[in-house]
Amino acid sequence: MYADVFTLRRQPARSEAVVGALLERVAALDAPGSPTALRSVLAVSGTALPEARACDQADPVGPLHGVPVLVKDNIEVAGLPSTAGATSLAGRPATRDAPLVRRLREAGAVILGTANLSEWANIRSMRSTSGWSAVGGLTGNPWALDRNAGGSSSGSGAALAAGLVPLAIGTETDGSITCPSSLNGVAGIKPTVGTVSTEGVVPISSSQDSPGPMARTVDEVALLLEVLTGQPGILERTRSGVAGLRVGVARTWRTGHPGTDDLFNEVLGQLAGAGADVHEVAAAVPGTQEDEDELTVLLCELVDGLARYLPTRGPGGPQDLSEVVQHEKRHASTELIYFGHESFERALELGGTGSDSYKDARARNLEWALHTCLEPAFADADVLIAPTYGPAWKSDLALGDHGVTSHITTAPSIAGWPIATAPMGLVDELPVGLGAVGRPGSEALLLAVCKVVERPSRPAWRLPARG
């Protein structure tokens, strides 16, 4: 087993042994039929071991030389399923690497496989169970196997926590890196929209989608972000501390969960002790109109995005969203067994981004996110912080999700601003995260804040239980 990425980098000619051990661990802990059946890994790469062997025999080519990485299965990796968890894309494997995957390979990384996820990155239904896909099944949480791993990068978060891989890639539209990172006790960041290429990523929203790094520690997230963005210095700035940084505590973004909010209040002293100027600020919370507008925007952009993307995966399957809906109706016993696709049907009714309903909703959404919420809150702050999610809820395929969240992801998601999270401790023996939001391009500042408060820990692997 590995200690961390930095230890691996100091131990040359060890990649094959590490990759082999991790593949054995995946088979023992993750696969259907194993005692735990975590189901965080959707597919393993048949070339991972020979690639690792080649790394051991070659001079280092980059900062991730020989380091295994797991990539969310809505990102194209040549020869791997890249299904977004949907049978619509099953049997149509990717024939190319997405640009972000090429960056990983150029940095020397070994792609271990692809991670399970909430199907279609959790846009299909408002009644979904996070972590479930028709292709990969339901991802468990290694802290407690009946608890949810979060959505939609559920497999990425669970695999990291379970020690199946040192680094993973997720994607986020609104909360999909933040949530599984928080619920699984790992770190992650959604970079500013546009910072990491979305080419070769199954789309939801052109205005809100962003791939990003996830790892056990903030330092590892910073290193991986440098690779994905091609921007050096992120790790150095992450490690340089928070002295003089103005940190606004968004009092209106607390979760309402007593244990989570009490722990958050405790860790504020760590930031003040590290030299940050910590003070409370008010940040607007979304109402029904803001939530409805955001959903309208996402669904309209989804229609156009899939119409452009699906034909790139070749023939033999749906070519647009209407054909996806028809496919799922024909395969209802597999696709619609636990919840429907009513959001897809509403998207088709709304039409694409040329509609007035889309334009009006997007304009209102941006006005609220920027001028009502973020800009006033940042008047005297460099970074805003709040708890991310409460402890992981129990997975419920009959009733769907029912977790405890804060409002921290909504406004930055709409505006395309970055958000980072790191584990700040345990509540009821389950991890909870601290989130940090910043202006576009401030990723290193957010990670510096997260580094001060992070408390990495190992999962308990609790068996399913009542209560």
Other C-beta atoms within 10 Å of 351: how many? 15
Quick check: 172 and 210 in contact, CB under 8 A?
Answer: yes
Judged on CB neighbours under 10 Å (0-12, 13-18, 19+), 465 is exposed
d(CA 365, CA 374): 12
Catalytic residue among 40, 72, 125, 343: 72
152 is a catalytic site residue: yes
Q: Which helix (H) or strand (E) holds 435?
A: strand 430-438
Q: Which residues pair with 420 in a beta bridge?
A: 189, 436
| DSSP conformation class of 262 | H
Q: Which of 161, 188, 205, 170 is nearest to 100 (CA)?
A: 170
Amino acid identity, residue 18?
Answer: V
Write out 289-326 in H/E/C secondary structure: HHHHHHHHHHHHHHHHHHHHHHHHHCCCCCCCHHHHHH
Give catalytic status of residue 451 as yes or no: no
Q: Cis omega before residue 152 (within 30°)? A: yes
| Residue in 152, 156, 182, 413 annotated catalytic | 152
Which of 15, 118, 156, 176 is an active site residue? 176
Active-site annotation, residues = 72, 152, 176
